[in-house]
Amino acid sequence: MNSEKVSIIIPVYNVEKYLAECLNSAISQDHGNIEIIAINDGSTDASLSILEEFQAKHDNMIVRSIRNQGLSVARNTGLEIATGDYILFLDSDDFIEKHTASTCLKHFRQHQTDIVFFSPNVFFDGVSEDVGRKFKSESITDLQNESCPAHLFFTKSINLKKYQVSACLYIYKKNKLGNIKFHPKTLYEDCLFTTRLLLENNNVKVTCIPDKLYNRRVRPESIMTQKKQEKHVLGYLIVAEELLKLKLTKEKSETGKALNHFIQVMLSNASTTYRIVYNHKLSHHIRKRLIILYSKTRPTLRTLKNIAPYIFPELLEIINLLKAFTVNKSTGGSKF
């Protein structure tokens, strides 16, 4: 069974502290046919030296250096090089279990599936658990050991509020899904890539397994924990705009409804992040853009009630003032 090759794609940028652990986890896989592709994305620390040292010792490791262009371009470069039957992404500050590839391949054969989804083990490195709690991930227990069409997997995951967007938690067949690439120079690229992976092909099957195969490190100054900037806002907006191009957003199906809901979440995140960056203000330009994009998600009257505070955050201030007034009045206090 070792004839089945797994390509592990590792984008690398200034992670000298964590890189050896990551590479060792890929090299130590108990499956015998592994191709490791490490893309050095213009690192300025010792990352390239570490990569070259590993490459000299392991014939199945490929190292390419490119100028710094971000995670998406690095992953796409790896996809262009990959010759494996299966694609697995691994971030260079994380690591995988020794049996990751072999476990997933067993399920590919057993279930005749196209994608295997597995669970992460999230741990904190230099970040307090209070700060990192929002990164804690739960497995989708309702779907464990189930094989189903990718559309249904996406819909159920959204409805259960357990949708995992990380591309590192899905291993997939390259020959069936190899045309999907990451949107370049965009944050939250996994939200777009994984959703497209699950929805663009009607004949794709997903198997969800309970195994915690991926060890995700939550650390200071990573993409997810760094201080929010305008680029984070733009990332959410680009994801929403790209997903709205999918035909499913115009369908009245359960999957279309789930997809539109996910896009609305992206837009709500954009609004919230913008107000964090710009001291609770929402510019006319961003407000207009949000209105246009929200209107394309087929919102219901009930949904509009939930959306309104993200477009007009001033409403929240009015609501809070009214609540304070009501509480004071009921307790016999002064108005304010």
Share of the chain above pLDDT 90, in %: 73
User: What would the pLDDT profile of 92-145 be if each residue is shown by its tens digit?
Assistant: 999 999 999 999 999 999 999 999 999 999 988 776 666 555 555 555 656 777
The pLDDT score that the predictor gives to residue 282 is: 87
Mean pLDDT computed over every residue of the chain: 90
The rounded distance, in Å, linking the Cα atoms of 142 and 161 is 11
Tell which CATH classification among 3.20.20.140, 1.10.460.10, 3.90.550.10, 2.60.120.620 matches the domain 6-218.
3.90.550.10
User: What would the pLDDT profile of 133-162 be if each residue is shown by its tens digit?
Assistant: 555 555 565 677 779 999 999 999 999 999
CB 83 within 8 A of CB 7: yes
> Which residues are bridge partners to 63 per DSSP?
38
pTM score, two decimals?
0.89
The pLDDT score that the predictor gives to residue 314 is: 78
Domain boundaries, the chain: 6-218, 230-319
**183, pLDDT greater than 60:** yes
The pLDDT score that the predictor gives to residue 335 is: 46
Can you tell me the mean pLDDT for 66-74?
96
Can you tell me the mean pLDDT for 4-13?
97
**29, pLDDT greater than 90:** yes
User: What is the DSSP code string of 243-264?
Assistant: HTTSGGGG--SHHHHHHHHHHH
The pLDDT score that the predictor gives to residue 1 is: 47
H-only helix segments in the chain: 19-27, 47-57, 71-81, 100-111, 129-132, 150-159, 174-177, 189-199, 230-243, 254-277, 284-295, 301-311, 314-330
